[in-house]
Structure 1
Amino acid sequence: MSEATQNPHPNPLNEAELAAAEATASTPTDPLADVQAELTNLKAQNADLADQFLRAQADVQNARRRADDEIAKARKFAVEGFADSLLPVLDSLEAGLAIPNVTIEQIREGSEATLRQLKSALERNKVVEIAPPAGTKFDPHHHQAISVVPAEQEANTVVTVLQKGYQIADRVLRPALVTVTAPK
């Protein structure tokens, strides 16, 4: 019986496996060739990993440089918004000074309008007044006591505000200068 009649439907996987086994059996394995092939493979992997490392390192340096540039720009232009808010105040002052033969009433009216503009600009930029009313408990974080006076109110409370203070966000720019009551 011929081989074709014994196996009418040859399995291609079995034939491929047989061919690979015969090729392996016909060529003796050379340990030196195997090691050299593995070394070549490892060198290629090493080169790939070194390239990936250099690219990642460059990305980190670029990100750091961009962040430094952004910080420098933020510092350089931090007052830009605040200055922009003050320009109308400057314009009003210059316009008021340019008017010849001004009356006292016009000066007062212009000064009040300019003061409103200035207060509005400060408020837009989160600069808040510290002006405690009389009787407010003295707070050394927001107030600076200039003098202690006897008064008919509770001890260590504000009697008068000599100069308003200001804060931006939670940071005190200038404490309010106040007189406080003497302890009894």
Structure 2
Amino acid sequence: MTPESTDKQTPDVAAAAADSGSSAAELTAIEQHAATLAELNAELEAARAKADEHWDQLLRARAETENLRRRQAAELEKAHKYALDSFVRELLQVHDSLELGVAASLDPGADLTKLREGNELTLKLLGDVMTRFGVAPVEPEGLPFNPEFHQAMSVQPRADLAPNTVTVVLQKGYTLNGRLVRPALVMVSGAA
């Protein structure tokens, strides 16, 4: 039974009760029940409207969350794709410098001193770029051997150094923001 049909029947019940000769107390009770029923129907309709409103808000919140998730996924993909953008821009300066050095070395009248100076400047430029981006060399010569950052290539018996001291660095190691990228290849002192 719908609320509209209940509202329509209630006055008819009161009229039917009045026609059948019911007492005034019965009529009052019927009218009170009809009023209570009308109030309940109004409360039910208000609750349904509120439930519909909450459902709509839930659907909108879900849609907004999904849109936000998609936007963040797209931004993360772009961040991964172009993470090296500024590093590459900086490296292009080094590349240009190397190209100029190679072109200058092909000149028949090239000055060896100027070429050496150009190479040193290019190496310094590369070192500056690496430092700016958190790349640091591992240069352990004279320090105790550390297997986390060094890879021993051979052991040299040495009486002048304590055992397990790095004597020669064959190849520098590098870290990126403190995390090892490549270990240093080293020679280590041993007992004489």
RMSD: 2.0
In the TM superposition, what whole-angstrom CA distance separates every residue of 1:67-93 from its partner, at most 9, and x where no partner exists?
212211111111111111111111111
1:57-96 to 2 correspondences below 5 Å: 57-96=62-101
TM-score by length of 1: 0.79
Aligned-partner SS, 1:149: strand
Displaced runs of 4 or more, over 6 A: none
In the TM superposition, what whole-angstrom CA distance separates every residue of 1:70-123 from its partner, at most 9, and x where no partner exists?
211111111111111111111111122233222322221211111111111111
- What corresponds to 1:138 in structure 2? 145
- What corresponds to 2:154 in structure 1? 147
Q: Percent identity?
A: 42
The answer to whether structure 1 residue 28 and structure 2 residue 32 are counterparts is yes
Aligned mate of 2:180, from 145, 166, 172: 172
- Greater displacement, 80-89 / 63-72: 63-72
1:97 and 1:163 map into 2 onto residues whose CA distance is: 25
- What corresponds to 2:48 in structure 1? 43
1:66 and 1:138 map into 2 onto residues whose CA distance is: 48
Deviation at 1:43, TM superposition (A): 0.9
1:35 and 1:170 map into 2 onto residues whose CA distance is: 70
2:171 maps to amino acid: Q
Q: Name stretches of at least 5 consecutive residues in structure 2 with no aligned partner.
A: 1-28
2:91 and 2:130 map into 1 onto residues whose CA distance is: 8
TM-score by length of 2: 0.76
2:155 and 2:141 map into 1 onto residues whose CA distance is: 16
1:133 and 1:166 map into 2 onto residues whose CA distance is: 14
Aligned-partner SS, 1:28: helix
Deviation at 1:29, TM superposition (A): 4.2
Deviation at 1:141, TM superposition (A): 1.0
1:82 maps to amino acid: F
1:143 and 1:96 map into 2 onto residues whose CA distance is: 33
1:119-130 to 2 correspondences below 5 Å: 119-130=127-138
- What corresponds to 2:166 in structure 1? 158
